[in-house]
Amino acid sequence: MKNMQCDIRIQVATSYVATESEPSSDRYVFSYTISITNLGNVAAQLISRHWIITDANGKVQEVNGDGVVGEQPYLNPGEEFRYSSGAVLATPVGAMQGLYRMEADGGITFEAPIAPFTLAVPGLLN
């Protein structure tokens, strides 16, 4: 059997949702779009997610669950899955990071890390 390579690329784009936010009530809503691309040579399925969301006060929320947005996408080599979701913070700046638990064809499970990214009201950070 040839060498199986599991290589998942994760890209994130974020935005502040001003229409749903209420700064006077310490409610800041952010949306994020994630692109998951299978750069490996074996198909893999996203089984579950684990997020760590931290606001500027140091409050940490952890989110665990099956799949993403109700799906457990199966990605053949070269395929991409994109989805959007959101987070609500009590501060105008925060950060998210985490991982996806993946299962490659053949039953090999592995973790695809999601590098930390910032959630921030525009103009707040330079």
pLDDT digits (tens, 9 = 90+) for 97-121: 999 999 999 899 999 999 999 999 9
pLDDT digits (tens, 9 = 90+) for 17-29: 999 999 999 999 9
What residue spans define the domains of the chain?
8-120
Q: At a CB cut-off of 8 Å and minimum separation 6, what does 46 contact?
A: 36, 67, 68, 71, 72, 73, 75, 81, 100, 101, 102, 112
Correct CATH for 8-120 of 3.30.410.10, 3.90.1150.10, 3.40.50.80, 2.60.40.1470: 2.60.40.1470
Predicted confidence at residue 1, as pLDDT, reads 40
Predicted confidence at residue 123, as pLDDT, reads 87
pLDDT digits (tens, 9 = 90+) for 45-92: 999 999 999 999 999 999 999 999 999 999 999 999 999 999 999 999
